Amino acid sequence: MKPIRQSIITLFIAAAIAIPSHSATRRMNILVYPFENLGAKELAWISAGMTDTVVSDLQRVKSVNVITEEGRKKAVEELELAQAGLFGDARIAKVGSLAGADVIFTGTYQRSGRLIRVNARLVTVATGVIEKSIKIDGTIDGIFDLQDKIVLGLLAETKNAPAGVEPPRLDDAARADITGKKRPALTAYEYYAKGLAVRDANPNEALALFEKAVAADPAYAEALVRAGYTAGVILNRFDRAISYLTRAEKTLAGRGESNAPAFASLLNTMGTVADSRGDLARALEYFNRSKALRDRLGLARTSGYAALVANIGNIFYRQERHADALAQYNAALALMDALGLSGTADYAMLLMNIGNCLKDTGRLGEAIARYSKALAHFESRGIRNVSYANVLANMGLALQQSGTADPALDAFRKARDIRDRLSLRNTVEYAYLLNNIGITHHGRGDLKQAGDNYRAAQALYETLGQMKTKDYADLLVNMGHLAGDNKQLDAALENYLKAKAIRESLNLTRNPIYANLLLNIGSAYYQKRNFAAAIEAMERSRATLESIGRTTGESYGGVLFNLAVIYEAAGQKAKAGAFYRQSYDIMAKAGVKGEILERARTGARRLGK
């Protein structure tokens, strides 16, 4: 009875799968770095609003790729962890390099009364040099015109593209889209920008500010979407989130924008909220609708699109559709290669997710190679963050499955130590680690250490309210195996049955893991001499494998062998003999060697088969 190992995957949040055609050139990658406030501290909110608007406007220009907000944050985190000691434009350029940008739009602003002066800068990432600086004057009442001028002015000056990169092309349609977009009430915009400014540090306050923005302008679609995302993904207030997102959907549809980029972004946010809620089928539906709309709009060559494809892969992975997940991850990776983003943290995490699929399908050597490449991204930068810990944890799983317990345990402990240092013990990922450390001790025969770690993982899952999840079910299976090894048959069966109920509630029954769980239930009933229940469980295990086409190899042959043993114990010798013979034929054809093959042959002969 092999313990069930749990992999950690990374969710990619797309702001924005067809792979772009290969070309000698690619679109320019633009990073928007937050504009610096040179005035009073109470005006810092303008930076968040201005940065958000510039990103939004650039996403309307199809000839460029805008680095996502998450991509910028990850680059900032990497720079801070690397302790680079950079300041000013040199620091900004380094962030751009880590995020995969070619150029950066940034600048400063200062408000005096109702007047605002912006000094917008265009920085070339490769050199760290300010390519162009433009001054734009405006008023707080005309802040929307001012922000549009920043985008149009900097795009006009973005002419010196690196080799192999296309310079931006700003056509009349994009210009009209930027200047003609729906604008909110100024009071609503101020609440919205203030919410953006505090969303990372205080999401509850951010949600309250987004709600004030919506109250001031009920048709403010961006505020509705932000309120929905914050409520659903960050605060897990799902009913509230759905209410805001539904209103955003009606608002955009009422404006005739159901076929616009903003609607594709809304669908993606709705998918992310559904994913956070655990509704994988609904999440996949929204992600696919967002993807289809972006395809129709010609928006497939962006980092946001790559993130969307990766998230579809995550849904497939959690549904245990590994081939489908791998196809999506590889598609996202190919797109990031085409966009010149192979040096980013998101690229490293995609490598990790691909490694997970390869590991879970038995391709351990290939998985370890992907993990090693992902780890090299962080190690070359001197970074030991939570993403690095996740890769270590999954590398530990691959090493464990390849039979190298000591290196596996070392990887798990390093990952755990990083999470301890970052005060991240009270998380699902920490529970994963405890489970997998328990598995490693279990495999080495250290049953006490295994039990201590399993119980700690169980307590953490229950504290976090994660008792109706696939991962909790897998942990219960492992605890069942441990109870069986400790001759505690009733406890083993209790854990198996709880795991079975959870998997059935999640509709995770058409896979080998569920079939193996049924086999273990049947084995436990057999040891309790309850042959009728044992046969029922084992026959369901057989039917499950047959329903998914797994009718060859040791696993299927093993189920048939166990059925033969139980039927013989129950006095049904004809059935027992037939199953012994069928089991032997299947395992012999698959090249299985050892005691089980010999016992199947002996049983068939003994019963005249």
Which of 323, 312, 342 has its CA nearest to residue 9?
Answer: 312
- CA atoms lying within 13 Å on the CB side of residue 569: 18
- Beta bridge partners, 29, equal 65
Our CA dihedral for 88, 92, 93, 97, rounded to 10 degrees, sits at: 150
Tell which wins on pLDDT, 261 or 11: 261
Span 40-76, pLDDT tens digits: 888 899 999 999 999 999 988 888 888 888 888 888 7
How crowded is residue 445: how many other Cβ atoms within 10 Å of its Cβ?
9
Span 218-251, pLDDT tens digits: 999 999 999 999 999 999 899 999 999 999 999 9
Span 327-350, pLDDT tens digits: 999 999 999 999 999 988 899 999
Query: Encoding tokens for residue 568?
Result: 């013989």
The CA distance from 288 to 279, in Å, is 14
> What homologous superfamily is domain 511-609 in, according to CATH?
Tetratricopeptide repeat domain (1.25.40.10)
Q: Is 190's pLDDT higher than 80?
A: yes
The sign one gets for the Cα dihedral 467, 469, 475, 479 is positive
Supply the DSSP string of 111-142, one letter for each residue: EETTEEEEEEEEEETTTTEEEEEEEEEEESTT
Helix 45-58 and helix 186-198: axis angle, to 10°? 100
Instruction: State residue 81's pLDDT score.
Output: 65
Instruction: State residue 604's pLDDT score.
Output: 93
Contact 584, 567 (CB under 8 A): no
* Domain boundaries along the sequence of the chain: 26-332, 425-508, 511-609
Q: By percentage, how much of the chain surpasses pLDDT 70?
A: 95
Quickly state the pLDDT bin for 601 (edges 50, 70, 90).
very high
**Ramachandran bin of 214, using left for φ above 0, alpha for ψ from -120 to 50, beta for the remaining angles:** alpha
Instruction: State residue 87's pLDDT score.
Output: 63
Quickly state the pLDDT bin for 278 (edges 50, 70, 90).
confident
Instruction: State residue 19's pLDDT score.
Output: 38
Please give the average per-residue pLDDT across 172-182, as a whole number: 87
User: Which residue is associated with the tokens 């205080």?
Assistant: 202
The sign one gets for the Cα dihedral 297, 298, 304, 309 is positive
Q: Is 352's pLDDT higher than 90?
A: yes
Look up the pTM and report it. 0.77
Instruction: State residue 224's pLDDT score.
Output: 97
Query: Encoding tokens for residue 352?
Result: 């990790």
Q: What is the largest CA-CA distance in the chain?
A: 99
Span 423-437, pLDDT tens digits: 889 988 899 899 999
Q: What is the mean pLDDT of the chain?
A: 90
3-state helix, strand, coil in the chain (%, to 5): 65, 5, 25
Distance of CA 354 to the CA centre of its chain: 12
Which of 166, 141, 156, 181 has its CA nearest to residue 59?
Answer: 181
Tell which wins on pLDDT, 65 or 1: 65
Instruction: State residue 420's pLDDT score.
Output: 92
Contact 352, 10 (CB under 8 A): yes
User: Pairing mode, if any, of strands 115-124 and 103-112?
Assistant: antiparallel
Q: Is 7's pLDDT higher than 60?
A: no
Any idea what DSSP says for residue 15? -
SS3 (DSSP) at 446:
coil
Supply the DSSP string of 519-565, one letter for each residue: HHHHHHHHHTT-HHHHHHHHHHHHHHHHHTT--SHHHHHHHHHHHHH
> C-alpha angle with apex 503: 498 to 504, nearest 5 degrees?
100
The CA distance from 272 to 267, in Å, is 9
Q: Which CATH number fits domain 425-508: 1.25.40.10, 3.20.20.140, 3.30.70.1290, 1.10.10.10?
A: 1.25.40.10
Instruction: State residue 14's pLDDT score.
Output: 45
Contact 26, 340 (CB under 8 A): yes
**Two domains, one topology: 26-332 and 511-609:** yes
Please give the average per-residue pLDDT across 185-210, as a whole number: 95
SS3 sequence of 16-79 = CCCCCCCCCCEEEEEEECCCEECCCHHHCHHHHHHHHHHHHHHCCCCCEEECCHHHHHHHHHHH
Distance of CA 341 to the CA centre of its chain: 18
Question: Residues near 292 by Cβ (< 8 Å), separated by ≥ 6?
Answer: none
Instruction: State residue 74's pLDDT score.
Output: 82
> What homologous superfamily is domain 26-332 in, according to CATH?
Tetratricopeptide repeat domain (1.25.40.10)
